[in-house]
Amino acid sequence: MSHWITLPKIEGVASKQAHADLPPESYERELGKEGFYGPSTQMYHRHPPTGWSDVQGPLRPRAFDTTRLEANQTSPWNAFRLLSNPHLQFRLWKTDSSMDHLVRNADGDELLFIHQGGGDLYCDYGHLAFREGDYILLPRGTLWRVETENPLCLLLLEATADSYQLPDKGIVGSHAVFDPAVLDTPEIDESFLAQQTESEWRVVVKRRGALSTIIYPFNPLDAVGWHGTLLPVRLNWRDIRPVMSHRYHIPPSAHTTFAASRFVVCTFCPRPIESDPGALKVPFFHNNDDYDEVLFYHQGEFFSRDNIHPGMMTLHPSGITHGPHPKAFEAGKKALRKETNEVAVMVDARDALEVAEFPPGVEWTGYVDSWK
């Protein structure tokens, strides 16, 4: 049980409520524990908290253009590892052909997000068609492969030695954000039965980061039936109905889609922008001091950022304030937009993320200066 020191106090000039009716000519910054779940303080500044003139050293906001990464990796085990820590492997897989082998992740649950393309997934449990915008959750140890006639681009999010669960939705109830009834599962259909051949198949298993190959003289996806509560599920972002308020800017934690022990996966979907005159209409400046924050931009225009396009990824590490870009902040003050149109996948990781060695030209090195 948590026993935080909670001594509510107001010092100097401050608003009555967080994220609304800020003191004139002030900029709000939130300092918080446990992401946005724990105790927090709203600080009011004379200058934008991101108004630095220079940042020296390794701690800085970073941005990467994954559209510049090499394509056509024949196996998910060849996917480019973007970010990682002992509890999370964040990879990008690009392929333009069907897999000629099966894979099994013995290191943790695998969450696929389909950034581009569509096709068919075959796994122990049956056949599942997929399209752009789908999440597919594969429990640890599931055998799977994909078939496609078009180029694919997928995010692969491994919960290392862990499992994904649905977040606690609290007082809004289990049907909020998305009703579990919209989750699709694989089926043992004609397409699945037709691929059960007696020809030789390879299974490439990842365990403790090392690959092993198991050869079968038949297709091991040969199930005739199953029953139980452990199974893959599919969710499309279009079935997510975000929690929102016209009078209060809802923090990112309310957009959590899947939760592991040491990180969460959130989805930002199109929604109306706050209409109350006193409410913030862009994300507030904040120190997310217990988490590293990653955003992968799937489609649309991200309303709090400039010069960001689909396929880009940003990293805002713990220890440095982040928040909206100046143009977005000013547009929010003037209420120039009535709704958002972006779709983005966000990961909040409790443990520091290691950044991969990217090929030249992938990282936008000027991102740290984009708040000037």
Block means of pLDDT (10 residues each) for the chain, length 372 residues?
A: 80 92 93 84 94 94 95 94 98 96 98 98 98 98 97 98 94 93 98 98 98 98 97 98 91 92 96 91 86 96 83 95 85 80 96 96 95 88
Long-range contacts of 68-71 (CB under 8 A, 24+ apart): 68/359, 68/361, 68/362, 69/94, 69/358, 69/359, 69/362, 70/94, 70/359, 71/95, 71/96, 71/151
* Cα radius of gyration rounded to whole Å, the chain: 22
At 305 the pLDDT is 78
The one-letter amino acid at 298 = H
Q: Count CB neighbours of 368 within 10 A.
A: 18
Superfamily of domain 27-64+238-369: Jelly Rolls (2.60.120.10)
DSSP 129-185: EE-TTEEEEE-TT-EEEEE-SS-EEEEEEEEET---BPPP-GGG-TTSBS-GGG-B-
Q: Where are the alpha helices (DSSP H) in 164-316?
A: 190-194
CA distance 300 to 317: 24
Contacts of 175 (CB under 8 A, 6+ apart): none
Per the annotation, does 322 bind a ligand?
yes
Strands 102-105 and 143-147, by their bridges, are antiparallel
SS3 (DSSP) at 252 = helix
SS3 (DSSP) at 330 = helix
Q: For residues 329 and 290, is the Cβ–Cβ distance under 8 A?
A: no
* The dihedral sign for the CA sequence 340, 344, 345, 351: negative
The one-letter amino acid at 314 = T
Structure tokens belonging to residue 8 = 């509510």
Per the annotation, does 309 bind a ligand?
no
Which residues are catalytic, by number? Answer: 249
Q: Where in the chain is the domain with CATH 2.60.120.10?
A: 27-64+238-369, 71-236
Of 277, 318, 260, the residue nearest 140 (C-alpha): 260
Q: For residues 356 and 82, is the Cβ–Cβ distance under 8 A?
A: yes
CA distance 301 to 183: 27
b/e 106-117 (16+ beta carbons within 10 angstroms → b): ebbbbbbbbbbb
At 1 the pLDDT is 60
Q: From 3.40.50.300, 2.70.98.90, 3.40.190.120, 2.60.120.10, which CATH number describes the 71-236 domain?
A: 2.60.120.10
Per the annotation, does 286 bind a ligand?
yes
